[in-house]
Chains A and B, each alone.
Chain A
């Protein structure tokens, strides 16, 4: 169809609609909605801006549950145990304060959802039921079958609607104090000045439907944009996961942390090819599913690393007894943290013991009755039946690792979720630190709620405190942002350049990251990836768009592609710099975990924030010391366990002495 004349853009005649809010939340998944609810309940006028329709955010994909030590199934559970599990899962690189706050506040955040109308599965006593998951010592995940994310997103969505109903009763306007701008993408953040220290003043974006522009004036902006998985070929992530928040933060002068840590979920579908990467929930293993190789062997027993040996069963018999008698048996190694299981599957396939489609077998059919499988894992049953013609009540699934989550993200203050830029907050997957080098299953949904609420509360407080000193967004800022957003259209006016297609560049980027910066990494391969990223960045700068501006996915992709390229560069640079293997970062050339490296976070910043466009990456990387753990938190661990993670010098004198006094066979219980 020929576009109508009005579809052809020029910068001069673009007028952006303008809005003024106290708090603007970018992203409408669990973290974004929880933040918006908090900001609005604190009395601030709040906007929620999201790329997809309201209620479609990636949170709906979460399956297994929300980790919170409510102790409904095993009363021994408490926040200290949850904290300890989280630190172990992250291989002690977690931001300790975040892990502490998360473990302490998660139960309240879950209970609160019931007051919004959530309906979790119940225990016999009528409390919220909790299930086992990898790395969690006790049954800890509140869940609704295997569609917990859907319940979370719908509950929060309906809470937002209920706040709008309040506004309607009070003001006759549903959107008086909280409005959702859906199918609206943010391309830029505004600051009150060009200094690194200047505070945030607003945000700029476009409506996907019409392609027209929109500017927000706001002293507080909360990033809740999720992750980066769409830079990888095999991924469980949706199209939205293009690292927008990560890139926006960098360009605004904030820093990113731990970007080398990318979680490959051990169990994604591997067949048919078109669904490769779609998630198979960890609940399959939590509820009894086992992993086998082509020889029928439960291979995970051969992959228990030294640091976890004390907590995992050594025989199949003991592992099986654990499901019914967890107090007197150790858990099966299928429930090791995700990084361990993903690496093990990778090794089995490489050793020629994989399944026909290049994965391994995940079998629940011989472990549970068909009716229980359908009840506990309904969407897995549905998904395999519809997409792969596999009946999981009768036969095993074929699974393999899939890019699932980025532990790295915006560096934030643990208590307030504020980045280095005043007025800019980040919560959920886009924030870094909480999960260290590897996230435990179930800790994501709780992270969204705990830090979503904190970001919302603190952003609201900050917005209120500066209400009389709000910086205006200038026409020049809007014009410059408009020009940048329209660049892919304007390129076509330069006829001598070779035509590039954003879809092709995206596919090459995904292949590059998958092959060269994937689950197992090597220096020479990462260097090759960095070269390729350089080339792709130059080609992306001249990628052209066909068609007009109304709902044009080609245009949207060419804007998202810039974010993906920038963030991929960050991941590759950090992956090259960290010369050890830890959590979601495995170096073939540096296979061990090195306590010296645990002392450092890798931090990324732009040389000249706000100036970044097109062909120069300008990414700077530096090492930053990890804050020390408080003594009372250190005491939660067995001294011998600490010695496996910390350097001799980091161990407090008392612990160092105690550790040498404890006989080895009595250590590490618990």
Chain B
């Protein structure tokens, strides 16, 4: 049943920090967040960690466990051997605030730059009609709990601070795809994705998909289809001609074409 685990937890602020060792009790069925809470309650009352639901639904307790981006609440202790030293560090892509808490404001800034859902004109509330099969595509992306693990692991910004300005990260490129596939959204999203939010930076290494705790196929179902549509439109001679003579139908889906101002 219970045993003492060896933990190394990053402690510190933006000014300085280091890994601190803790020896801490582990009980049957516990997750890493339980252990962090036990350290907090018994050994380090000021250990900073974000968490809310402890059920994998809110996406607050993102951190790196033995270097892998994970939710602390969904990582069971039984996945480690009893002798293993478990190292918990803050997300690397975002500036540290304190201990395991990072400044994730990059994500909120990017969220704000993506034009919101544009409701169709002339359709009153209560009159929206959509087929289940059509909403399911966007619903997959709306499962996102905004843990930001995908943005954290994406090498475009993880290793290149400069790219942050021009790249929305998998989370928000997926948001654009979600709106693009929304059956009633009335804005052209594809050009924006490419020209304003850095879709082209993504070279489909699928790291984001791999760390997604909701198992959303970010690369295959959101980013690649959007890349394909951008390419289709840009290089398809028929589409090109159509757009020149005013017959553009976007990607060929049943959405009214809307010209960006």
Contact A551 B128, beta carbon cutoff 8 Å:
no
What's the minimum C-beta distance from A11 to chain B, rounded to whole angstroms? Answer: 20
Does A635 touch B at the CB level, under 8 Å?
Answer: no
**Cβ 8 A contact of A61, one of B13, B58, B104:** B58
Contact A119 B142, beta carbon cutoff 8 Å:
yes
**Known contacts A53-B104, A119-B138; is A271 also within 8 Å of B57 by CB?**
no
- Report the bound CA distance from A271 to B28 in whole Å: 10
Contact A547 B46, beta carbon cutoff 8 Å:
yes
**Cβ 8 A contact of A278, one of B49, B55, B119, B128:** B55
**Known contacts A161-B116, A272-B29, A387-B74; is A122 also within 8 Å of B125 by CB?**
no
Residue of B nearest to A109 (CB): B125
Contact B74 A61, beta carbon cutoff 8 Å:
no
A residues 141-196 in Cβ contact with B at 8 Å: 144-145, 147, 149-151, 154, 158-159, 161-162, 164-165, 168, 174
- For A548, list chain B residues within 8 Å (CB): 46
**Cβ 8 A contact of B29, one of A107, A149, A271, A502:** A271
- For A154, list chain B residues within 8 Å (CB): 142, 144, 146
Does A56 touch B at the CB level, under 8 Å?
Answer: yes
- For B59, list chain A residues within 8 Å (CB): 56
- Report the bound CA distance from A116 to B117 in whole Å: 7
- For B40, list chain A residues within 8 Å (CB): 503, 553-554
**Known contacts A53-B104, A174-B112, A238-B54; is A273 also within 8 Å of B46 by CB?**
no
Does B259 touch A at the CB level, under 8 Å?
Answer: no
**Cβ 8 A contact of A273, one of B17, B27, B145:** B27
Contact A386 B57, beta carbon cutoff 8 Å:
no
Contact B48 A1, beta carbon cutoff 8 Å:
no
- Report the bound CA distance from A53 to B59 in whole Å: 10
- For B28, list chain A residues within 8 Å (CB): 272-273
Contact B55 A546, beta carbon cutoff 8 Å:
no
Does B197 touch A at the CB level, under 8 Å?
Answer: no
Contact A61 B46, beta carbon cutoff 8 Å:
no
Does B52 touch A at the CB level, under 8 Å?
Answer: yes
Contact A58 B143, beta carbon cutoff 8 Å:
no
Does A594 touch B at the CB level, under 8 Å?
Answer: no
Contact A551 B97, beta carbon cutoff 8 Å:
yes
- For A8, list chain B residues within 8 Å (CB): none
- For B15, list chain A residues within 8 Å (CB): 4
- Report the bound CA distance from A126 to B132 in whole Å: 7
Contact A275 B55, beta carbon cutoff 8 Å:
yes
Q: Count the A residues whose beta carbon is within 8 Å of the partner chain — how many?
A: 74
Contact B128 A552, beta carbon cutoff 8 Å:
no
- For B16, list chain A residues within 8 Å (CB): 1
Does B108 touch A at the CB level, under 8 Å?
Answer: yes
Does A127 touch B at the CB level, under 8 Å?
Answer: yes
Contact B142 A165, beta carbon cutoff 8 Å:
no
- For B101, list chain A residues within 8 Å (CB): 209, 551
- Report the bound CA distance from A54 to B146 in whole Å: 10
A residues 110-150 in Cβ contact with B at 8 Å: 111-112, 114-117, 119-122, 125-127, 129, 144-145, 147, 149-150
**Known contacts A122-B130, A159-B116; is A238 also within 8 Å of B52 by CB?**
yes
Does A501 touch B at the CB level, under 8 Å?
Answer: yes
Does B139 touch A at the CB level, under 8 Å?
Answer: yes
Residue of A nearest to B114 (CB): A161
B residues 42-72 in Cβ contact with A at 8 Å: 42, 44-60
- Report the bound CA distance from A608 to B52 in whole Å: 34
**Known contacts A112-B125, A547-B45, A551-B97; is A165 also within 8 Å of B55 by CB?**
no
Does A498 touch B at the CB level, under 8 Å?
Answer: no
What's the minimum C-beta distance from B39 to chain A, rounded to whole angstroms? Answer: 11
Contact B47 A553, beta carbon cutoff 8 Å:
yes
Does A60 touch B at the CB level, under 8 Å?
Answer: yes
Contact A551 B139, beta carbon cutoff 8 Å:
no
Residue of B nearest to A269 (CB): B55
**Known contacts A115-B119, A386-B74, A387-B76; is A107 also within 8 Å of B126 by CB?**
yes
Residue of B nearest to A153 (CB): B58
Contact B45 A503, beta carbon cutoff 8 Å:
yes
- For A387, list chain B residues within 8 Å (CB): 29, 31, 55-56, 74, 76
What's the minimum C-beta distance from B80 to chain A, rounded to whole angstroms? Answer: 15
Does A55 touch B at the CB level, under 8 Å?
Answer: yes
Most buried by A among B41, B52, B54: B52
Most buried by A among B55, B76, B144: B55
- For B46, list chain A residues within 8 Å (CB): 545-548, 552-555
**Known contacts A239-B51, A503-B40, A550-B98; is A60 also within 8 Å of B142 by CB?**
no
What's the minimum C-beta distance from B243 to chain A, rounded to whole angstroms? Answer: 27
Contact B125 A115, beta carbon cutoff 8 Å:
yes
Contact B52 A58, beta carbon cutoff 8 Å:
yes
- Report the bound CA distance from A56 to B128 in whole Å: 28
Does A659 touch B at the CB level, under 8 Å?
Answer: no
Does A461 touch B at the CB level, under 8 Å?
Answer: no
**Known contacts A115-B119, A274-B34; is A382 also within 8 Å of B56 by CB?**
yes
Does A621 touch B at the CB level, under 8 Å?
Answer: no
- Report the bound CA distance from A240 to B52 in whole Å: 7
- Report the bound CA distance from A145 to B140 in whole Å: 11
Does A52 touch B at the CB level, under 8 Å?
Answer: yes
**Known contacts A53-B104, A272-B29, A278-B55; is A554 also within 8 Å of B129 by CB?**
no
Does A589 touch B at the CB level, under 8 Å?
Answer: no
- For A416, list chain B residues within 8 Å (CB): none
Does A388 touch B at the CB level, under 8 Å?
Answer: yes
Contact A150 B125, beta carbon cutoff 8 Å:
no
Does B245 touch A at the CB level, under 8 Å?
Answer: no
B residues 186-240 in Cβ contact with A at 8 Å: 215
Most buried by A among B29, B99, B129: B29
Contact B143 A53, beta carbon cutoff 8 Å:
no
Does B30 touch A at the CB level, under 8 Å?
Answer: yes
Contact A551 B57, beta carbon cutoff 8 Å:
no
For A358-389 the 0/1 string (1 means CB < 8 A from B) is 00000000000000000000010011001110
- For A61, list chain B residues within 8 Å (CB): 53, 55, 57-58
Does B247 touch A at the CB level, under 8 Å?
Answer: no
**Cβ 8 A contact of B117, one of A107, A117, A275, A502:** A117
What's the minimum C-beta distance from B104 to chain A, rounded to whole angstroms? Answer: 7
Contact A150 B29, beta carbon cutoff 8 Å:
no
Contact B97 A209, beta carbon cutoff 8 Å:
yes
**Known contacts A52-B52, A159-B116, A546-B45; is A121 also within 8 Å of B132 by CB?**
yes
Does A504 touch B at the CB level, under 8 Å?
Answer: yes
For B84-119 the 0/1 string (1 means CB < 8 A from A) is 000000000000011101011000100110011101
What's the minimum C-beta distance from B29 to chain A, rounded to whole angstroms? Answer: 2
Contact A119 B135, beta carbon cutoff 8 Å:
yes
Chain B residues in contact with chain A, CB under 8 A? 11-13, 15-17, 27-31, 34, 40-42, 44-60, 74, 76, 97-99, 101, 103-104, 108, 111-112, 115-117, 119, 125-126, 128-132, 135, 138-139, 142-146, 179, 182, 185, 215
20 residue pairs from A and B, CB less than 8 Å apart: A58-B53, A70-B126, A111-B126, A115-B125, A119-B138, A144-B142, A150-B57, A150-B142, A159-B116, A161-B116, A238-B58, A239-B51, A278-B54, A387-B74, A388-B29, A507-B41, A546-B45, A550-B98, A551-B101, A555-B46
User: Contacts A56-B146, A151-B142, A547-B46 given; 7 further ones with Cβ under 8 A?
Assistant: A1-B11, A4-B15, A52-B52, A168-B112, A239-B52, A387-B31, A551-B99
**Pairs A-B, 10 closest by C-beta atoms:** A272-B29, A547-B46, A117-B117, A162-B116, A554-B45, A126-B129, A503-B41, A111-B125, A111-B126, A551-B48
